[in-house]
Amino acid sequence: MQLLIVSLFFSFVQADMSAAESYIKKLKSNKSYSIQIKNLQTNELVNWQAEKKMTPASLTKLAILSALKEHYPWDWKFKSYLFGKSAVKGSVLEGGICFKASGDPSLVSEKMWVLVNNLTRKNIKKIRGGVYIDTSIHNDAKKDAGRSQSKSARAYNAPISAASFNWNSVNIYVQPTTMNKKAKVYLDPKSDYFVLTNKIKTVKGRVKNLKHGIHQSRTFKDGKEYLTLSGKIGIENEEELIFRNVSHPVKWFGHNLIAFMKQRGIEVEGEIQEKSCADHKTLLSEIESKDLYLIYRDMMKYSNNFITELLVKSMLTTKGETGSIAKAKEVIEKHLHSLGIKEFQLESVSGLSYQNRFSANDMNLILKDLIKDPNSIELLSTLPLAGLDGTLKSRFEFLGDNESFRAKTGLLSNAVALSGVYDQEKTRYLISMIYNGKSIYRARQEMQEIVKRLRK
The CB density around residue 443, as the number of other CB atoms within 10 Å, is 24
- CATH 3.40.710.10 for domain 4-73+293-453, yes or no, is yes
Question: What pLDDT shows up at residue 4?
Answer: 46
d(CA 33, CA 436): 7
Superfamily for domain range 79-288: D-Ala-D-Ala carboxypeptidase C, peptidase S13 (3.50.80.20)
Under DSSP, the state recorded for 140 is S
Query: How far apart (Å, rounded) are the C-alpha atoms in residues 312 and 349?
Result: 8
Report how far residue 298's alpha carbon sits from residue 184's, in angstroms, rounded to the nearest whole number.
Answer: 31
Distance CA 262, CA 133 (A): 18
User: Hey, which residues does 131 pair with through a beta bridge?
Assistant: 97, 272
Q: Provide the 3-class DSSP secondary structure of residue 21.
A: helix
Provide the whole-model pTM: 0.92
The C-alpha angle 445, 451, 455, rounded to 5 degrees, equals 135
Position 16 scores a pLDDT of 67
The four Cα atoms 120, 125, 131, 132 give a dihedral, to 10 degrees, of -50
Question: What's the Rg (C-alpha) of the chain?
Answer: 25
Q: What is the pLDDT of residue 201?
A: 95
Element (H, E) at 15: helix 11-26
Task: Give the separation between CA 395 and CA 400, rounded to whole angstroms.
Answer: 13
What is the pLDDT, as a whole number, of residue 415?
Answer: 97
Residue 15's pLDDT is 41
Distance CA 202, CA 319 (A): 54
Q: Boundaries of CATH 3.50.80.20 in the chain?
A: 79-288
Residue 369: the pLDDT is: 98
Predicted local confidence at residue 401, as pLDDT: 86
Tell me how far apart the alpha carbons of residues 169 and 336 are, in angstroms, rounded to a whole number. Answer: 32
Distance of CA 50 to the CA centre of its chain: 27
Residue spans in the chain of domains classed CATH 3.40.710.10: 4-73+293-453
**pLDDT digits (tens), the chain, 456 positions:** 444 444 333 333 344 688 999 999 999 999 999 999 999 999 999 999 999 999 999 999 999 999 999 999 999 999 999 999 988 998 999 999 999 999 999 999 999 999 999 998 999 999 999 999 999 999 999 999 988 777 788 888 999 999 999 999 999 999 999 999 999 999 999 999 999 999 999 999 988 877 677 899 999 999 999 999 999 999 999 999 999 999 999 999 999 999 999 999 999 999 999 999 999 999 999 999 999 999 999 999 999 999 999 999 999 999 999 999 999 999 999 999 999 999 999 999 999 999 999 999 999 999 999 999 999 999 999 999 999 999 999 999 988 888 999 999 999 999 999 999 999 988 999 999 999 999 999 999 999 999 999 986
Residues 281-316 pLDDT 10s = 999 999 999 999 999 999 999 999 999 999 999 999
